[in-house]
Amino acid sequence: MKKNSSEKQNNSKIWGGRFLTSPNELMEEFNSSIQFDKRLYNQDIEGSIVHAEMLCKQKIISETDFKLIKSGLKKIKTEIYNNNFNFSIKLEDIHMNIENRLVDLIGDAGKKLHTARSRNDQVATDIKLWLRNRIDQIELDLKLLQKTLIEKSELYYDMLMPGYTHLQVAQPVTFGHHLLAYVEMIGRDRSRLIDCRKRLNESPLGSAALAGTSYPIDRDFVSHKLGFDKPTKNSMDAVSDRDFAVEFMSVSSLIAIHLSRLAEELVIWSSDRFNFVKLPESYTTGSSIMPQKRNPDAAELIRAKPGRIFGNLLSLMTVLKSLPMTYGKDMQEDKEPIFDTADTIEMCIMNMEGMIKGLEPISNNMIDALQKGFPTATDLADYLVINLEIPFRDAHHLTGKIILLAEEENCTLESLSLKDIQKIIPAADYKILEILKIQNSVSSRNSYGGTAPKNVLKAAKEAKQRFLKD
Ligand code: ARG
């Protein structure tokens, strides 16, 4: 009697035929992924429709069955979209939830959908389709961020600011030049995403559980219809490969690194001490206790997000490490880090774009900070070497003395008089006064890739061509 009732229960499981007892409830909860893989429903349905179409074309199922399957799946898609679908933990994952509902809706024809397929090739296909969409979107978001950065750099191509090494004033640069540095980083990120998408874009469907199938399927047809470049070559590799996800997460980690560097600069630049920029108010928050505050929360969050993005990458790498061929349930752990990485990186890019768009640089403060850092010291030393034939080490030493003098007199290098300078370098002439001007220093850095305003304007135009066309 007892055995009968438990048999009845287990027969209701899609895979329950050979089971005598029902799964432990805790285990059922532990085992299920529907809580998070429901996000794959569109891709799952798209893949299933194409699979069924192929089965029909190959005469593995009838035309009538295919039509029933297709309309049933479309109905399920609407139900899920409208929040009208009853997801069940008992049905484990998105694949079985949908298949089960299909059988509810269309009866026996629904039971034929899973012919010549396994959840192993199905889930690999679903994630690839999902991730491919997101990669395309993220790449577009990055392009928009580049556009905004390039537009700003054109606007401020000649605005002087301190260039730093060791976070100490080093040499004058322009604000436009500084922003274009990020355009290059993001350009590399975009090409890495495109590269990752290329390798991802092979169709696993038809690999079945791990060994392929004896049904006369047409993998090329399915691959083509789903927008893949070609079917995967090896069925065992196809169901066990998550390299594409690791690649996506490592590309995202680099994007996160780049964004966090810019975010940190925004935090520094907008601090009271620097006051180089005003962040758009809409990306800052007030303090609940200190009325004067305007905190750069968006920038701080972007600075912090690499924590979870690196964590996601490490978590998937650890899951895959030492996993024997082929599919293991371990691989169900891939989804949450993939989803979270895509969501997080997209939010970071979009918030950064908004902040850059509304960013207002405060030129006077940048120039003040620049002057305090004696940024034309290198120019002076070079001048002494080239024009007064003083060996570089001596020139370096003499320039150091000039800086001491400016410090003593509490003035900028530009405001020293020729007389003062001649006390240290008797051969100095009026040309030295020109050399000490920050404007001249910046303009002189006109080597390829340098910060001279003319170069920056040209570089911005070139970047538009390279990154923003089509
Ligand atoms: N929910 C599973 C996953 O995400 C689907 C594949 C299950 N395959 C299996 N043989 N149990 O990995």
- d(CA 119, ligand 1 centre) in Å: 6
pTM confidence score: 0.93
Q: Is pLDDT at 6 greater than 50 in this prediction?
A: no
Q: Tokens at residue 455, please? A: 């170069």
Q: Which of 120, 127, 326 to mutate to test the pocket of ligand 1 (most atoms within 8 A of CB)?
A: 120
pLDDT, residue 23, reads: 81
Angstrom distance (rounded) from CA 23 to CA 393: 80
Angstrom distance (rounded) from CA 174 to CA 354: 22
Q: Ligand 1 atom closest to Cα of 335?
A: 4
Q: Which of 332, 335, 339 to mutate to test the pocket of ligand 1 (most atoms within 8 A of CB)?
A: 332
Which residues are 203's β-sheet partners?
231
119 C-beta closer than 6 A to ligand 1 = yes
327 C-beta closer than 6 A to ligand 1 = yes
Angstrom distance (rounded) from CA 92 to CA 74: 21
Determine whether 268 is exposed, middle or buried from the number of CB atoms within 10 Å of its CB (0-12, 13-18, 19+). Answer: middle
Q: In the CATH hierarchy, which fold is given to the domain comprising 371-465?
A: Ribonucleotide Reductase Protein R1; domain 1 (1.10.40)
**Residues 49-76: pLDDT tens digits?**
999 999 999 999 999 999 999 999 999 9
pLDDT band at 12 (very low <50, low <70, confident <90, very high): low
pLDDT band at 1 (very low <50, low <70, confident <90, very high): very low
- d(CA 327, ligand 1 centre) in Å: 8
- d(CA 56, ligand 1 centre) in Å: 25
**Residues 378-429: pLDDT tens digits?**
999 999 999 999 999 999 999 999 999 999 999 999 899 999 999 999 999 9
97 C-beta closer than 6 A to ligand 1 = no
**CA nearest to 140, candidates 306, 280, 297, 346:** 346
Angstrom distance (rounded) from CA 182 to CA 459: 13
Any idea where the domains of the chain sit in the sequence? 22-115, 120-162+177-367, 371-465
Angstrom distance (rounded) from CA 434 to CA 275: 28
Angstrom distance (rounded) from CA 429 to CA 402: 14
Q: End-to-end CA distance of the chain: give it in Å, rounded.
A: 70
User: What number is the average pLDDT over the span 362-368?
Assistant: 97
**Residues 30-55: pLDDT tens digits?**
999 999 999 999 999 999 999 999 99
**Residues 206-221: pLDDT tens digits?**
999 999 999 999 999 9
Angstrom distance (rounded) from CA 311 to CA 320: 14
Angstrom distance (rounded) from CA 127 to CA 37: 9
DSSP symbols for 166-199: TTEEEEEEEHHHHHHHHHHHHHHHHHHHHHHHHH
pLDDT, residue 441, reads: 93
Q: Ligand 1 atom closest to Cα of 92?
A: 1
Q: Are 337 and 134 in contact (CB under 8 A)?
A: no
pLDDT band at 11 (very low <50, low <70, confident <90, very high): low
Q: Which of 90, 92, 123, 205 to mutate to test the pocket of ligand 1 (most atoms within 8 A of CB)?
A: 123
- Rg, C-alpha atoms of the chain: 31
Q: Which residues are catalytic?
A: 166, 287
Residue with tokens 């891709």: 43
33 C-beta closer than 6 A to ligand 1 = yes
- d(CA 145, ligand 1 centre) in Å: 37
> Measuring CA to CA, how many Å separate 191 from each of 102, 134, 138, 184, 243?
41, 15, 12, 11, 18
240 C-beta closer than 6 A to ligand 1 = no
Angstrom distance (rounded) from CA 13 to CA 4: 15
120 C-beta closer than 6 A to ligand 1 = yes
User: What number is the average pLDDT over the span 281-310?
Assistant: 91
Q: Ligand 1 atom closest to Cα of 94?
A: 1
| Least confident range of 4-18, 370-384, 436-450 | 4-18
Closest-CA residue, ligand 1 atom 3, reads 332
> Measuring CA to CA, how many Å separate 134 from each of 131, 254, 339?
5, 17, 9
Give the CATH class of 22-115: mainly alpha
Angstrom distance (rounded) from CA 168 to CA 180: 21
**Residues 150-206: pLDDT tens digits?**
999 999 999 999 999 999 999 999 999 999 999 999 999 999 999 999 999 999 999
CATH 1.20.200.10 describes domain 120-162+177-367: yes
pLDDT, residue 21, reads: 83
Determine whether 402 is exposed, middle or buried from the number of CB atoms within 10 Å of its CB (0-12, 13-18, 19+). Answer: buried
- d(CA 421, ligand 1 centre) in Å: 77
- d(CA 334, ligand 1 centre) in Å: 11
**Residues 226-278: pLDDT tens digits?**
999 999 999 999 999 999 999 999 999 999 999 999 999 999 999 999 999 99
User: What number is the average pLDDT over the span 97-123?
Assistant: 98
Closest-CA residue, ligand 1 atom 11, reads 329
Is residue 326 reached through a cis peptide bond, with omega within 30 degrees of 0 on the bond before it? yes
pLDDT, residue 10, reads: 54
Q: Is pLDDT at 317 greater than 50 in this prediction?
A: yes
93 C-beta closer than 6 A to ligand 1 = yes
66 C-beta closer than 6 A to ligand 1 = no
Q: Are 98 and 123 in contact (CB under 8 A)?
A: no
pLDDT, residue 285, reads: 86
Parallel/antiparallel/unpaired status of strands 230-231 and 202-203: parallel
SS3 399: helix
Determine whether 157 is exposed, middle or buried from the number of CB atoms within 10 Å of its CB (0-12, 13-18, 19+). Answer: buried
Q: Are 376 and 441 in contact (CB under 8 A)?
A: yes
Angstrom distance (rounded) from CA 37 to CA 39: 5
- d(CA 234, ligand 1 centre) in Å: 19
SS3 162: strand
Q: For residue 30, give every residue at least 6 positions away whose Cβ sits within 8 Å of its Cβ, in sequence order, or none.
A: none
Q: Tokens at residue 330, please? A: 């371990």
Q: Is pLDDT at 135 greater than 80 in this prediction?
A: yes
Angstrom distance (rounded) from CA 184 to CA 438: 26
Q: Tokens at residue 339, please? A: 């989803």
332 C-beta closer than 6 A to ligand 1 = yes
Angstrom distance (rounded) from CA 71 to CA 79: 12
pLDDT, residue 20, reads: 81
Q: Which of 31, 95, 117, 119 to mutate to test the pocket of ligand 1 (most atoms within 8 A of CB)?
A: 119
Mean residue pLDDT of the chain comes to 95
Q: Which amino acid is at 328?
A: G
- d(CA 133, ligand 1 centre) in Å: 22
The answer to whether the Cα torsion of 455, 456, 462, 466 is positive or negative is positive
Q: How many Å separate Cα 154 from the centre of its chain? A: 25
